[in-house]
Amino acid sequence: MRLNPSTRFAKDPLTDRAVDKSCAVIYADASGRVYYFESEAAYSAFMALAEGGTVAGYTPAR
């Protein structure tokens, strides 16, 4: 992990901040793409930006 930080960290697609994957709110769409968010609020704001039918496989967070 020390040599390759991408194994531990990802960018929040809404805030563009580095997020520790072990602490992130994680969402995977139907195509298998995984998104990491720094908080539930960032996740909700990101989903609110999507238009109906644009988020493949969207299901509300549990």
Is residue 42 one of the residues assigned to a domain? yes
Is residue 62 one of the residues assigned to a domain? no
Taking the C-alpha atoms of residue 23 and residue 38, their distance in angstroms, rounded to an integer, is 8
Instruction: Write out the chain's pLDDT in tens, 62 residues.
Output: 567 878 999 999 999 999 999 999 999 887 889 999 999 999 999 988 876 666 555 556 66
Is residue 56 one of the residues assigned to a domain? no
Is residue 10 one of the residues assigned to a domain? yes
| pLDDT score recorded for residue 50 | 78
pTM, entire model = 0.75
Is residue 26 one of the residues assigned to a domain? yes
Is residue 12 one of the residues assigned to a domain? yes
Is residue 55 one of the residues assigned to a domain? no
Taking the C-alpha atoms of residue 19 and residue 8, their distance in angstroms, rounded to an integer, is 8
| pLDDT score recorded for residue 26 | 96
Q: DSSP letters along 17-51, please? A: -EEETTTSEEEE-TT--EEEESSHHHHHHHHHHSP
Is residue 25 one of the residues assigned to a domain? yes
Boundaries of domain holding 37: 5-49
